[in-house]
Structure 1
Amino acid sequence: MTTLKEQLKTTGKYSTILENNGIKSIKELLQYFPRSYEDRSFIQPLSELVLNEKGIATTKGKIIEKKFSPRRGRKVYEYTFTDEQGQLGQISIFNSGYLASKIKEGERYIIIGKPFFKGGKAFFNQPEIIPTTDTSEGQSIIPNMGRIYPIYSELYGIRPAWFVEKIWTVLDKIEDLFDEHLPIEFLKEYNLLGVKETLKNIHFPENYDLQKAALQRIFFDRLLRVQLHSLLQKEEYEKKSLKRFDESDPRREIIKTFIDKLPFTLTNAQKKVVKNCIESIHDKKPMMALLQGDVGSGKTIVAAIIAYYMYTLKNKQSIFVAPLEVLANQHHKTLAKLFLPLGIRNELLTGSTPKSEKERIKNDIREGRIPIIIGTHALLQEDVGFHDLGFVVIDEQHKFGVRQRAVFKKFGNPDILQMSATPIPRSMALAFFGEFDVHIIDELPKGRQPISTKIISENEYIKLKPRILSKINEGQKVFVVTPLVEESEKLEEVKAATSEYREIQEIFPELKGKIGLIHGKMNSKDKEETMTKFKNGNYCLLVSTTVIEVGVDIPEATIMIIKNSERFGLSQLHQLRGRIGRSDIKSYCFLETKKKTGDSYKRLQAMEETNDGFKLAELDLKNRGPGEILGTMQSGQTDIPIEILSDLKFIEKVQEGAKWLLEHYPKLKGLDKLKIYLEEKIGDILA
């Protein structure tokens, strides 16, 4: 069996780099796609050079003279060439004896670079130089050089031009290595290129229409595998028809009594979500719902109402799963205030729960003595058995992996409500949560005031000292947020939380002993202790990294200063800002930055202009891509570009296609090649 090195006729160094980066075969090399393209379809004489959008021109010439001209310690190789009209040009190559040795007098070359003109002569410094013929065989290395040219990303020293040459030499292998995994009638129905034609036109497109069609097929496939995964999961989850609640059960009225006794009034948006979820619960299939709501919009109370409903009607257990212990503790306290006065027991189960207490709680859960259980992912990993689990709430769903969420199937397919305080644009919600019913709380609780946000210059917050001390004397609290945990050589200007903490202590000697520090490198116990001290008033000012981003509820926090705010994306800034303004007291967010121009400053201006998380999420999708919004859930999916994730019509087309396939080929029966493709890309989702 020939090795990749032998097949490509390359060096051991290059083959090792490829293999270390997951390219171990010709097939995998052919799936290393260009990052962009250059239009080299116009090879022009020097007198008619036209620059493309990057200022690059393409010409062709014959080398008529070469000379070596060292200058100030630099090796300079100069070549005079003449184009087809006899006009002279000059090429200069710096410090590259190897490249210079490849350029021969009397040979013709394609010259691609940024020209400048002097004395009627065109000069190219360090251009790309491509021979028009392979001197060993007299054949064009890349035929019809006047074409759309692929630009590959450099890979640890392997130049883009190397990929062009090697992929061209193995392009004919596509026919043998790739099989079409979609039905022919499906390709016709959705106007898609076949996989072989797609690969050829991804690497060396014949024209821009085919290049666009090839990209569309690639992105269609990438979204299709996500959609099929979602729909297959949903089919599997809904396979078990459940005995649902009786629509006429008079105890349904009990929910109204519970809501009326709440110490606050639900918003119309909350009431609508409760109504829709209860309707889903009465369906014959398990509910799979995604609840989106801006920070502080009251998602937890909606989940609590549904949990109460499940218990009072059918004695079903509910679990609330949070990604962090601090958030699980917070949920426990919130739910205890609601349920304990009604005699409904709820317990907290996390990794920090003492062993003896943990065993007692787990035994009571199995016996059905605990209706409401709150915890972290430990609930999924440990041997927790439920008496009759009916409802699962997953908070900050993007912090959980697909496999963790799938665990609940073994508990009898309960109703699932996933909550997210990270606003997800509609197109992305459809792309990545196609199997879920999406509910939105787009209204803040009554009495909440909009947070005022202002951009300030570096260290301008020192001028805020009188205001900060005044607010602290009134019992209010302050966050100071910094991007990093410790100093970094690459980010010297970014102040770390530790150095910021020392600086704040110097600026506010009046607050000695009242300033706390929290960051991601602290252990869970220390973080919990610090947050408790801040919540209870032992600390009135907290210096923090983004560890406070998720779910912490401090109603007295009314001021936030975000240092080096230009380093954060909009979604993250909005999440941070949501840690204040959680009461009826007016709150203020100050965005400190050195910059007054550029895209990062525009992000900060957007924060000044709106508190609408969905508007900011749309902007973040366009400016920074899906990773900022999806967080850790994005693994394997951010190879879909922003313009595709923003294209609602395209995503709807893919979703329609996924449904078409499952309708015409239930469980993809008869589509073995598609199953293999999905298993290669996603793993064992079809198992």
Structure 2
Amino acid sequence: MRPALLDPLFASVSSLPGIGPKLADLIARVTGREDADDCRVIDVLFHAPSSIIDRRNRPGIALSPQGAIVTLEGRVDRHQPPPPGKSNQPYRVFLHDETGELALTFFRVKGNWLEKALPIDEQVMVSGKVDWFNGRASMVHPDLMVKMSEAGDTPLVEPVYPLTAGLMPKVMRRAVEGALARLPQFPEWMDEPLREREGLPDLEEALRALHDPRDAADLDPRSPSRRRLAYDEFLAGQISLALVRQRMRKASGRAIIADGRLGARIRDSLPFTLTASQETAIADIRKDIARSERMLRLVQGDVGAGKTLVALMAMADAVEAGGQAVLMAPTEILARQHYATIQRFGAAAGLRVEVLTGRVKGKEREEVLARIASGEAQIIIGTHALFQDAIIYHDLMLAVVDEQHRFGVHQRLKLTSKGIAPHLLVMTATPIPRTLVLAAFGDMDVSKLTEKPAGRKPIQTVTIPSERTDEIIGRLRTALAEGKKAYWICPLVEESDESDLMSAEERHALLTAALGPQLGAKIGLVHGRMTGAEKDAVMTAFKAGEVRLLIATTVVEVGVDVPDATIMVIEHAERFGLAQLHQLRGRVGRGEEASTCILLYKGPLGETGRARLSILRDSEDGFLIAEEDLKLRGGGELLGTRQSGTPGFKIASLEAHADLLEIARKDAAYLIDKDPELNSERGQAVRTLLYLFRRDEAVRFLRAG
């Protein structure tokens, strides 16, 4: 049971003053929750401000520097609405102080609200960014406008939060204040000597300070309040991982004893030989699963390094020992692709392979479930549908999880808590630096696949400014006419007002117009808002050659396998992280032919952007790229999570808080060793910490013993 003192923090976000269902949805989106039902008051507390507005800067109109955010006081002189019928022209309000005149500029003004907000002759205070043009100062859409008679309670320093369309800063601030009002007095789970040594506040103090920054130093990840929150997050994560390990060690696995005859049949049927690192990984896994202690191993391999085959060899051993194996992938596309590969290679050994995703419904689903329960299905491949309670395995011995960072510890626990103790093999195509492995996986054993399979040619990578897009389209026309296949990657699904990025839908329309007529084959489009069935249909057509040019968002980033695609164009490459660009580039160069990757960027590039693209141009070593990426931009994005923190973390980040991760890891190990059931006074406080950071599954483990 969650401790009662946390109940106010786990009330729905719509219980906060002034937050109805529509706003609750927007807050859920901006705090990274699935939907309003899943969004709680605590999510608002962990939504950290990204910058501040400092209204202490009041230089006067004439002395305001270009581009600076300033606060000005002045008297309103006149209103200048757009001429009738010209609603696309701005509405201007002029005011002056003793140094000069300022034009406040507004677009798409509806109604007469400006006349009420800024009456002529009224003394007002405005705050926003000043722009100078032809010697005149203007401020577009001030972020604050208030009559001086009502300006008394305007804060001088105000936090600025990450927002989404439709969510106003005022609303977010009101939600935060409502959430802060519910803070209870937390028990202290941090080791007191450590807290004093690190100079960290208690949690309540840290949360209040987080939302009340006074200057830029308070926004620094190294500020005491952020370090305290980061430590708590790391500690919750490390204790969860320690409990998983403890439980996994406790629920002893069963040794998988196989002489490798099924594996040998698969090997004999392969049109190539395995690489040295594949052989090493297979040997390590075979040694692990032959013990009664459960295996917990991570296989890291660059794009195309042959991880699926390593997993198949392990699954073949499990089947040979009379058991079943599952392989779980993060998306429908990937699950079906693994199914195709494993079906193809497993056929030689007579393996019976099933696929189970959310799309398998009705009678067909019942039949698949029956085959899993009877043991007729030996290898089962699917998405997280594999976890659902309705699924009963005949004898599950091995679970393989692909692209683990998209699942997190929770699902790993769920699989384990089905009352079965399978050996666990985790695969990732994201080469992860050691610190990240610790944060995301705890002390897992790691196998690295370092070579590319034989016969793969290097991919030629070039960077080209977006002004030359037409030239690229011309070259693409020639290549497609020769029968080649190409990807064109865009950062967005559809065009939006706020962004000047090219959307996938818009690019699809332009390329269809430019290339469609003489291509004779369709131009496909794949993005995340399409259903699984729609995506699969386009991918199948692309594989079969009915579609030869595929416009896509990053949904094709992991694992999509079309060996004869040889051209990859990535638009707005400067907007992607290094690891993501490397993943995308790995979609080509999978067959016999030489491949090209074209990175289109919009100049001028910043220093980081330039560094990122040149690292990619000069190297195909995923591990080197991952280390560089970690230096340049942070672990969260490297693992494909949205926030720029570390995967699954709201505040903690590896670059800023690596020292705390190490301390939290040791602290968690010490705590679990001394108090494995968390029954001591500190142990009870730590249970509260686990609930606070939504690690309920880990607490359930304690109860389950």
Aligned-partner SS, 1:341: helix
1:389 corresponds in structure 2 to 396
Cα–Cα, structure 1 residues 141 and 181, in superposed 2: closer, same or farther, change >3 Å? farther
**Residue 633 of structure 1: how far off its partner (Å):** 8.7
Deviations 1:503-522 (A, max 9, x none): 34543544213544444444
Deviation string 1:345-378 (CA, Å, 9 cap, x unpaired) is 2233344447555444433332323322223333
Contact 2:269 2:345 in 1 (8 A): no
Post-superposition shift, 1:605?
A: 3.4
The answer to whether the Cα contact below 8 Å between 2:52 and 2:159 also exists between their aligned partners in 1 is yes
1:5 corresponds to which residue? none
1:672 aligns with 2:681: no
User: Does the aligned pair in 2 maintain the 1:427–1:645 contact within 8 Å?
Assistant: no
- Unpaired segments of 5 or more residues in structure 1? 1-12, 81-88, 105-110, 117-125, 130-134
Decide which moves more: 192-201 or 670-679.
Answer: 192-201
Separation in 1, partners of 2:241, 2:442: 6
* 1:84 matched residue in structure 2: none
Corresponding residue for 1:333? 340
1:230 equivalenced with 2:241 (yes/no)? yes
Which amino acid counterpart does residue 590 of structure 1 have in structure 2?
I
Q: 1:180 to 1:91 in 2, by over 3 A?
A: farther
After TM superposition, the structure 1 = structure 2 runs for residues 39-438 of structure 1, keeping only pairs within 5 Å, are 151=159, 153=161, 177-185=185-193, 187=195, 192-195=200-203, 198=206, 212-245=223-256, 251=259, 259=267, 262-312=270-320, 314-353=321-360, 355-381=362-388, 383-400=390-407, 402-409=409-416, 410-434=418-442, 436-438=444-446
The 8 Å contact of residues 318 and 373 in structure 1, kept in 2 or not, is answered as yes
Q: Kindly state the Cα deviation for residue 200 of structure 1 after the two structures are TM-superposed.
A: 7.0
Is residue 75–residue 96 contact of structure 1 (8 Å, CA) maintained in 2? Answer: no
**Structure 1 residues 504 and 225, CA gap change in structure 2 (3 angstroms):** same
Alignment of 1:507 with 2:515, yes or no, is yes
**Counterpart of 1:452?**
460
Indicate if the aligned counterparts of 1:427 and 1:646 stay in contact, CA closer than 8 A: no
1:608 to 609, 617, 623: 617
8 Å CA contact 1:231–1:434 kept in 2: the answer is yes
1:37–1:373 distance in 2 versus 1, CA, 3 Å: closer
- For the residues of structure 2 that align with 1:157 and 1:515, how far apart are their CA atoms? 40
Q: Residues 185-213 of structure 1: CA distance to partner in whole angstroms, max 9, x if unpaired?
A: 55468775444665676577999999933
Residues 650 and 483 (structure 1 numbering): CA distance in 2 closer, same or farther, change over 3 Å? Answer: same
Whole-angstrom distance in 2 between the partners of 1:375 and 1:395 = 10
Q: Quick check: 2:200–2:224 contact (8 Å CA) kept in 1?
A: yes
Structure 2 SS opposite 1:525: helix
- Equivalent residues in 2 for 1:15-34 (5 A)? 15-16=17-18
Cα shift readout 1:414-471 (whole Å, capped 9, x = no counterpart):
0111222233333222112215333322221122122111123222213314650465
1:442 matched to 2:450? The reply is: yes
- Among 626, 649, 666, the residue aligned to 1:656: 666
Structure 2: how far apart are the matches of 1:141 and 1:540? 59
Counterparts of 2:631 and 2:610 in 1: how far apart (Å)? 15
**Separation in structure 2 between the aligned mates of residue 32 and residue 152 of structure 1, nearest angstrom:** 11
Task: State the shift of 1:617 in Å.
Answer: 3.5
Structure 1 counterpart of 2:11: none
Is residue 535 of structure 2 the alignment partner of residue 549 of structure 1? Answer: no
Secondary structure of 1:667's counterpart equals coil
1:317 Cα deviation from its structure 2 partner: 1.1
Distance 1:301 1:493, change over 3 A: closer
**Shift of residue 298 of structure 1?**
0.5
- Looking at structure 1, the residues matched to 528 and 76 of structure 2 have their Cα atoms a distance apart, in angstroms, of 57
Partner of 1:681: 693
Q: CA deviation at 1:299?
A: 0.4
| 1:495-549, Cα deviation, whole Å (9 max, x unpaired) | 4346525634543544213544444444433432332232233333333333322
Aligned residue for 1:121? Answer: none
Shift of 1:264: 1.9
Q: CA deviation at 1:651?
A: 1.9
Change (3 A) 1:128 1:496: closer
Residue 418 of structure 1 aligns with an amino acid whose one-letter code is: V
Between the aligned partners of 2:282 and 2:673, the Cα distance in structure 1 is 32
Cα deviation, residue 395, structure 1: 1.9
- The secondary structure found in structure 2 opposite 1:370 is coil
How far residue 391 of structure 1 moved from its aligned partner, in angstroms, is 0.6
Deviation, structure 1 residue 328:
2.5
**Correspondence for 1:477 among 458, 473, 485:** 485
Post-superposition shift, 1:227?
Answer: 1.3
**Separation (CA, whole Å) in 2 of partners of 1:96 and 1:438:** 66
- Provide the secondary structure at the position in 2 that maps to 1:541: strand
Unaligned runs of 5+ in 2: 1-14, 29-38, 82-91, 105-113, 132-141, 146-150, 701-705
TM value normalised by structure 2: 0.72
Counting matched residue pairs gives: 629
Distance 1:650 1:367, change over 3 A: same
Closer/same/farther in 2, CA of residues 39 and 437 from structure 1, 3 Å limit:
farther
- Greater Rg by CA: 1
Q: Relative contact order (alpha carbons < 8 A, sep ≥ 6): 1 or 2 greater?
A: 2
User: Partner residue of 1:592?
Assistant: 600
Q: Is the 8 A contact 2:201 2:224 kept in 1?
A: yes
Aligned to 1:468: 479
Conservation of the 8 A alpha-carbon contact between 2:578 and 2:629: yes
CA deviation profile, 1:318-366 (whole Å, cap 9, x unmatched): 1122233332332223222322222332233344447555444433332
Kept in 1, the 8 Å contact 2:463–2:599? The answer is yes
8 A contact 1:645–1:651 mirrored in 2:
no
For residues 74-109 of structure 1, the C-alpha deviation after alignment (integer angstroms, 9 at most, x for no partner) is 7777778xxxxxxxx999998999999xx99xxxxx
- Report if aligned partners of 2:210, 2:226 keep a CA contact under 8 Å in 1: yes
Partner in structure 2 of residue 539 of structure 1: 547
Instruction: Provide closer, same or farther for how the CA distance between residues 76 and 358 of structure 1 changes in structure 2, counting only shifts above 3 A.
Output: closer
Task: Give distance in 2, aligned partners of 1:486 and 1:434.
Answer: 39
Alpha-carbon distance change, 503 to 490 in structure 1, aligned in 2, over 3 angstroms: same
The secondary structure found in structure 2 opposite 1:677 is helix
For 2:232, the aligned partner's letter is D
**How far off its partner does 1:229 sit?**
1.7
Letter in 2 for 1:233: V
| In structure 2, C-alpha distance between the alignment counterparts of 1:525 and 1:174, rounded to whole Å | 45
Contact (CA 8 Å) 1:38, 1:150: kept in 2 or not? yes
Structure 1 residues 150 and 359, CA, compared in 2 at 3 Å: closer, same or farther? closer
Residues of 2 paired with 1:448 and 1:25: CA distance? 49
